[in-house]
């Protein structure tokens, strides 16, 4: 690690003031940032610890839930409001990492963890446009089994590793941000970026911007939601493909639906084409399959990851079938 | 600026680069806590922070200013073993022993998580706070601790034994 200073933020204004210094980064649990600093891939000159800021999980006036960015991942999964009203979120978080890491990781840090691949970590031995823009991407013609099938560019085909963010995307979460020019909010589907020709820029945050909270809107569909993660081993592994979905059926037809995919793109992928293809259709395997096809028609695969298209198709159909329960 | 380690107040290192794991091992010579991977992948460095299991390799010591750390040395010692330490001995919960301190710290906190009703990946009913100590629940909840010797069956037996004793 290169030398850096460490300070704790006492409140949001203090964090913004301290975070405004060039080279400074906010520190959550440290599970991603400390690791990358040890590899000297991240080289902040100062850390501002924001774990003392709001970690509260409270019901909002209109029946949604506000989650302070410093809330630990475990605290979110075990909260009664989340378990009962947004089960996809609990299911997604417990599918990620290990209990130890979930006890450390904050919601803000989970959103901001780097989109990455093994070449990104291999600072000495590999070319990576995300680490060094213009350097090239060894994954394109290398080991790309875990890489993206949607929305990638020739500059970078890495996938966003978060499970939590996939559920938040299906649940229409809002990200609340505080910066030197005041506060703003972004729907989570617009928060992360596709790689384009700047894979080193992963979110819409400007330097010094602080995530203060995540808000889940009140939603009737969210209560019938779930998360399915397909991976190489049963636990403690990143997703090959994951699906977060919510479904509402009325008189046998799909009244409303939300679908988001993980493990397939540089960002949590909201499957809006699949949703559009499904609304109003008779709930059942034919419509679920057509919806999956509509989303995956744009897939572009590489030597190692072509299997992900079929895997995503089947997982989408299976999750929607599960959510349709006895109704179909 | 101080951290409580097994009940003793310890000065926070001047250099913020020191990880909690390196403070424990190199600074305090508490060699029970192990460095397996130093990148969050094995669980050998698991310690208890205010009773919750965390990885000491992925965090900086300075982050724990004001908090209470318990390492394997703080759980029990020869002559006065923690019941789970004793059960590991009796049930062959280890071979080489390298992963063992992490396994034991992890399991102690795991039991508390189950009692608190924290759901896991294999919990079917999210709206129930009562979680069974089933084989699947235990395997899933301990998946953050790898054992290269494959002593998993003994580890699960040892945990089961202490649960049975606690229930009696
Ligand atoms: C071995 C291992 C396995 C893992 N497996 C999974 C998995 O299967 N699924 C999964 O989803 N994740 C997995 N993870 C990733 C883990 O979820 C993330 O590391 C964690 O969520 C990051 O949270 P943190 O609080 O520790 O962030 P930190 O490491 O502290 O910070 C990460 C980034 O967020 C920024 N940041 C933190 N808080 C804020 C804020 N409030 N505002 C703005 N920026 C902020 C930091 O500056 C930094 O850039 C794994 C990690 C490890 C080490
Ligand atoms: S896929 Fe992205 S992160 Fe991986 S080597 Fe290529 S540019 Fe780097
Ligand atoms: S040494 Fe910390 S998880 Fe392996
Ligand atoms: S006993 Fe050898 S690694 Fe577990």
pLDDT (tens digit per residue) in A12-36: 999 999 999 999 999 999 999 999 9
Tell me the pLDDT of chain A averaged across its residues.
Answer: 97
Domain assignment of residue A309, yes or no: yes
pLDDT in tens, chain B (168 residues): 899 999 999 999 999 999 999 999 999 999 999 999 999 999 999 999 999 999 999 999 999 999 999 999 999 999 999 999 999 999 999 999 999 999 999 999 999 999 999 999 999 999 998 999 999 999 999 999 999 999 999 999 999 999 988 887
Share of chain B above pLDDT 90, in %: 96
Quick one: how far is CA B29 from the chain centroid? 18
pLDDT tens-digit readout, A102-128: 999 999 999 999 999 999 999 889 999
Q: Is the ipTM of this complex over 0.85?
A: yes
Q: Which residues fall within 8 angstroms of residue B167, CB to CB, at 6 or more apart?
A: none
Q: Is residue A203 part of a domain?
A: no
- The confidence score (pLDDT) of residue A328 equals 47
Helix, strand, coil in percent for chain B, rounding step 5: 40, 15, 50
Q: How many CA atoms lie within 13 A of A12 on its CB side?
A: 17
The predicted model gives A204-220 an average pLDDT of 97
Chain B residue with minimal CA distance to A49? B63
Decide if pLDDT at A271 tops 90. Answer: yes
Statement: residue A327 has pLDDT above 80:
no
Supply angle C-alpha A57, A269, A72, rounded to 5.
25
CATH architecture of the domain with range B83-167: Orthogonal Bundle (1.10)
Residue A316 lies in a domain: yes
Q: What is the pLDDT of residue B1?
A: 81
Q: Structural domain tally of chain A?
A: 1
pLDDT for A326: 57
**Across residues A42-66, what is the average pLDDT?**
98
Q: What is the CATH number of the domain that holds A292?
A: 3.30.390.50
Q: Give me the CATH code for the B2-74 domain, please.
A: 3.10.20.30
Q: Does the residue A304 lie in any domain?
A: yes
CA angle A201, A203, A208 (to 5 degrees): 90
Of A3, A83, A234, the CB nearest to B126: A83
Question: What token pair was written down for B54?
Answer: 């965390």
Q: What are the domain boundaries of chain B?
A: 2-74, 83-167
Q: How many CB pairs under 8 A join A and B?
A: 97
Average pLDDT over residues A55-72: 98
What does the pLDDT read at residue B164? 87
Q: Is residue A279 part of a domain?
A: yes
Q: From A66, A6, A15, select the one nearest A209 (Cα to Cα).
A: A15
Q: Which of A74, A98, A234 sits opposite B43 (nearest CB)?
A: A98
Residue A237: its pLDDT value, please? 96
The answer as to whether A271 is a domain residue is yes
Which chain A residue's Cα is nearest to B124? A91
Ligand 3 site: residues with CB under 6 angstroms?
A: B 35-38, 40-45, 55, 57
Indicate whether A95 pLDDT > 50.
Answer: yes
Task: Determine the distance in angstroms separating the CA of B28 from the nearest CA of chain A, rounded to an integer.
Answer: 21
Does residue A102 sit within a domain? no
Alpha carbon A268 to chain centroid, angstroms: 5
The pLDDT of residue A152: 98
* CB neighbourhood size of A268 (10 A): 29
Range of the domain at A254: 225-323
Query: Ligand 1 in contact with A199 (CB < 6 A)?
Result: no
Cα(A253)–Cα(A120) distance, integer angstroms: 45
**β-strands A5-8, A46-49: how paired?**
parallel
Distance (angstroms) between ligand 1 centre and the Cα of B160 equals: 33
Fold match between domain B2-74 and domain B83-167: no
């Amino acid at each position: 690690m290169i030398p850096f200073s460490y300070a704790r933020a006492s409140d949001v204004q203090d964090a913004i003031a301290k975070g405004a210094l060039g080279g400074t980064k906010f520190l959550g649990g440290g599970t991603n940032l400390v690791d990358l600093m040890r590899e000297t891939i991240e080289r902040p000159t100062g850390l501002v610890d924001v774990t003392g800021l709001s970690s509260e999980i409270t019901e909002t006036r209109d029946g949604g839930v506000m989650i302070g960015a410093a809330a630990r991942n475990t605290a979110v999964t075990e909260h009664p409001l989340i378990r009962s009203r947004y089960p996809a979120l609990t299911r997604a978080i417990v599918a990620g990492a290990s209990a130890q890491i979930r006890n450390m990781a904050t919601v803000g840090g989970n959103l901001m963890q780097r989109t990455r691949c093994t070449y990104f970590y291999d600072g000495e031995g590999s070319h990576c446009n995300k680490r060094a823009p213009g350097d090239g991407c060894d994954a394109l013609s290398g080991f790309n089994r875990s890489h993206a099938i949607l929305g990638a560019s020739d500059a970078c085909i890495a996938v966003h590793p978060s499970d939590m963010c996939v559920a938040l995307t299906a649940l229409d979460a809002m990200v609340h941000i505080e910066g030197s020019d005041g506060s703003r909010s972004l729907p989570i589907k617009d928060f992360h970026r596709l790689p384009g020709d700047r894979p080193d820029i992963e979110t819409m945050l400007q330097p010094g911007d602080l995530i203060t909270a995540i808000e889940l809107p009140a939603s009737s569909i969210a209560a019938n939601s779930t998360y399915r993660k397909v991976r190489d081993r049963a636990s403690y592994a990143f997703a090959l493909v994951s699906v977060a979905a919510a479904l509402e059926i009325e008189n046998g037809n799909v009244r409303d639906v939300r679908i988001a995919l993980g493990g397939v793109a540089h960002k949590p992928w909201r499957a809006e084409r699949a949703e559009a293809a499904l609304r109003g259709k008779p709930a059942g395997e034919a419509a679920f399959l057509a919806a999956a096809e509509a989303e995956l028609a744009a897939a572009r695969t590489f030597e190692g990851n072509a299997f992900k298209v079929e895997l995503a198709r089947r997982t989408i159909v299976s999750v929607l079938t599960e959510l349709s329960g006895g109704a179909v | 600026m101080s951290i409580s380690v097994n009940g003793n107040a310890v000065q926070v290192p001047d250099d913020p680069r020191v990880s909690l794991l390196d403070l424990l091992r190199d600074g305090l010579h508490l060699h029970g806590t192990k460095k397996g991977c130093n990148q969050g992948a094995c669980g050998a460095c698991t310690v208890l922070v205010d009773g919750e299991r965390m990885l000491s390799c992925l965090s900086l010591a300075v982050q724990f200013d004001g908090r209470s750390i318990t390492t394997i040395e703080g759980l029990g010692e020869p002559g006065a073993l923690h019941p789970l330490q004793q059960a590991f001995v009796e049930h062959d919960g280890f071979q080489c022993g390298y992963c063992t301190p992490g396994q034991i710290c992890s399991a102690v906190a795991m039991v508390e998580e189950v009692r608190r009703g924290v759901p896991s990946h294999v919990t079917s009913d999210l709206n129930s706070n009562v979680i069974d100590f089933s084989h699947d629940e235990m395997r899933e909840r301990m998946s953050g601790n790898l054992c290269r010797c494959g002593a998993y069956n003994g580890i699960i037996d040892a945990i089961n034994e202490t649960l049975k004793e606690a229930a009696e």
